[in-house]
Amino acid sequence: MPGDHKPKTANGKIVRSTKQRQAILDILTKQQSHLSAEEIYQAVKITQPRISLGTVYRNLEILTELGSIYRNSFADGKARYESATIGHHHHLVCINCQDIENLTACPMAQDIGNLAQSHDFEPLEHYFEVYGYCGKCRRKD
Amino acid sequence: MPGDHKPKTANGKIVRSTKQRQAILDILTKQQSHLSAEEIYQAVKITQPRISLGTVYRNLEILTELGSIYRNSFADGKARYESATIGHHHHLVCINCQDIENLTACPMAQDIGNLAQSHDFEPLEHYFEVYGYCGKCRRKD
DNA sequence: ATCGCTGCAAATCATTTGCAGCAGC
DNA sequence: GCTGCTGCAAATGATTTGCAGCGAT
């Protein structure tokens, strides 16, 4: 059926729209912050009290695959998610208060192009995170 | 006692030299690759058959704290370690064969200095990883 | 009526930790 | 001999998965 563009996952399954999935996406879109699966679970429970953590993980996986959200693994080994409406960006992570600030500029777009040439490598994604102290925490110490 | 510089961890304990710790450091120094705790465990068992995985983790923690090795968490959520003798660098990670190539140049040293100014942030460390296909895998597909 | 999705619970995987004996310094 | 280190096993924390019923198309 030409013109039919139902979203599908990598394994070819059609993706349905459920209130659980919509609630998760809503939270990530509204909060505009970097939430862990557990934090998302706690937030979704307000509107969907019977949702399970397993469902949260399954939906985060699907939404990541669809490109609706980004998954980031930071140095603490825990994955955090954010809405993809913000577009490509990087992170300043405070090692004291754990706050994450987004860096809207991507200074290495050009560098990556050069890498492709000099290292025989086809770049698809890249991650750049800076760890340190945010202004607030620096002044507190 | 001035002139006395025994290595210590953050909690002030003196660090002793043990054959288990030395074996782990040897492997990382010789292999010059990015090994997971489990891979290191398997490699150390050849010379230290009675070593436990717990000891491997404890030593990786101490060696990281001392700055003898680097810990990196990649997108698969697993930590990988490498000898610090190589110096600061970044990574090209192949999402097909999982091979990791080191990037000796750090193109963002200057960018990070600018960030400090414009974002009221004190940078301590930074990570930069590019995910994509290495030359070998690109030609295979 | 399909077949994807859900809640629940149990399973898995990486990593951490309590403990009693052992080993550097 | 003090005290950090080890092996072992059990505990933790994040994430995944099997299953039977439910719900979206």
Q: Which positions 108-137 on chain B have a beta carbon less than 7 angstroms from any atom of strand C?
A: none
| Minimum-distance CB partner of A135 among B79, B120, B130 | B120
All structural domains of chain B: 1-86 (1.10.10.10), 88-141 (3.30.1490.190)
pLDDT at A30: 95
Residues 115-134 of A with CB under 8 A from B: 115, 119-134
Q: Distance of CA A3 to CAs A6, A42, A126, Å?
A: 9, 39, 33
The CA-CA-CA angle for residues B20, B39, B138, to 5°, reads 150
Per-residue model confidence as pLDDT tens digits over B18-63:
999 999 999 999 987 899 999 999 999 999 999 999 999 999 999 9
Per-residue model confidence as pLDDT tens digits over A36-85:
999 999 999 999 999 999 999 999 999 999 999 999 998 888 999 999 99
Question: A72 - beta bridge partners?
Answer: A80
User: Would strands B121-134 and B90-94 be described as parallel, antiparallel, or unpaired?
Assistant: parallel
Minimal CA separation from B126 to chain A, in Å: 4
Q: State which nucleotides on strand D lie below 7 Å from a protein beta carbon.
A: 3-10, 14-18, 23-25
Residues B18/B6, Cβ–Cβ less than 8 Å = no
DSSP string covering chain B:
-TT----B-TT-PBPPP-HHHHHHHHHHHHH-S-EEHHHHHHHHTTT-TT--HHHHHHHHHHHHHHTSEEEEE-TTS-EEEEEGGG-S-EEEEETTT--EEEE---TTHHHHHHHHHHHTEEEEEEEEEEEEEEHHHHHH-
Closest-CA residue to A133 (of B71, B66, B120, B110) = B120
Q: Distance of CA A19 to CAs A51, B47, B64, B76, Å?
A: 10, 56, 45, 29
pTM: predicted TM-score of the whole model, two decimal places = 0.90
Residues B113/B121, Cβ–Cβ less than 8 Å = no
Per-residue model confidence as pLDDT tens digits over B60-116:
999 999 999 999 998 888 999 999 998 999 999 999 898 999 998 787 778 888 888
pLDDT at A111: 83
Report the distance separating Cα B57 and Cα A123, nearest Å: 32
A10 strand C contact, CB < 7 Å? no
Q: Which positions 35-54 on chain A have a beta carbon less than 7 angstroms from any atom of strand C?
A: 48, 50-54
